[in-house]
Amino acid sequence: MLGSILGRSRAYLLAHPEVHLDAAQAARWASWLRKRAEHYPVQYLLGNQEFYGRSFAVGPGVLIPRPETELLVDVCLERLDALALPDPKVLDVGTGSGAIAVTLAAERPRLRVTATDISRRALAVARRNAARHGCESRIEFLEGRDLTPLEGRAARWDLVVSNPPYVATADRDRVDRSVAAYEPGAAVFAGRDGMEMYETLLKECPSVMKRSRPLVLEIDADARERVCRLARRWSWREVEVRTDLAGLQRCVVLVRRNRSEGCDA
């Protein structure tokens, strides 16, 4: 925070203990310290968060990208490369800051992305991030809940990715105070058991996806069994589960079952 106020790096501050704040900087520093004492997110104070080696604008009303979500990008890139399509199309449901959509577009210049979110404020930030990283012409941002912005469209996507809200409302008291108090609840909490958004995606994604294409979802570390049980109910099968750097199950890849495979409840 101090480096941001002074426009200096952490290394510079450590090497120059003689540096002093002027009156305006001192007032800003005191204000930031008061906010941090109230658990206000550092990322909102700085206005930025690093994700996949890039700086993303964030602010109140926008979910802060987490390092573990970078795993979704890795998995999506692997799946897209395996498909080897000349002009792949990706759908990012609940894009938030645009971290996933923008990163995928930046990493794969021939990729075209459609990104949806219920929050107009989040979409405004996502558009800024797309412009910041030079890929705004290849990302379409749509406002609306879940897949409703896609109604009436004939397009079919080659890959759908989502980091949906998955914290049960009953677990609100267990969430970090900075998250519960300041980050957008619609991007964190998902009904009584945390499965609300998963069920919506598993039920509705087949209508917008090409057959046998992957659905890539971030999951809570202990939610794999519940998510995959829902997936089987809606005729999906699990093809891969990936763990993050902490060894926690964080990402699941699903594809629709063929009719010959049947469906388990």
Per-residue pLDDT tens over the stretch 37-76: 999 999 999 999 999 999 999 999 999 999 999 999 999 9
Domain edges within the chain: 2-37, 59-261
Q: Is the pLDDT of residue 33 over 90?
A: yes
Q: Does the domain spanning 59-261 belong to CATH 3.40.50.150?
A: yes
- Each residue's pLDDT tens digit, 120-153: 999 999 999 999 999 999 999 999 998 999 988 8
Q: Is the pLDDT of residue 240 over 90?
A: yes
CA dihedral for 176, 250, 246, 67, sign (positive or negative): negative
- Which DSSP helix (H) or strand (E) runs through 125? helix 120-132
- What percent of the chain lies above the pLDDT cut of 70? 97
Helix, strand, or coil (residue 206)? helix
Number of H helices and number of E strands within the chain?
10, 9
- Which DSSP helix (H) or strand (E) runs through 38? none
Compute the distance between CA of residue 248 and CA of residue 245 in angstroms, rounded to an integer. Answer: 7
Q: Is the pLDDT of residue 265 over 50?
A: no
The pLDDT, as a whole number, for residue 259 is 55
The pLDDT, as a whole number, for residue 170 is 84
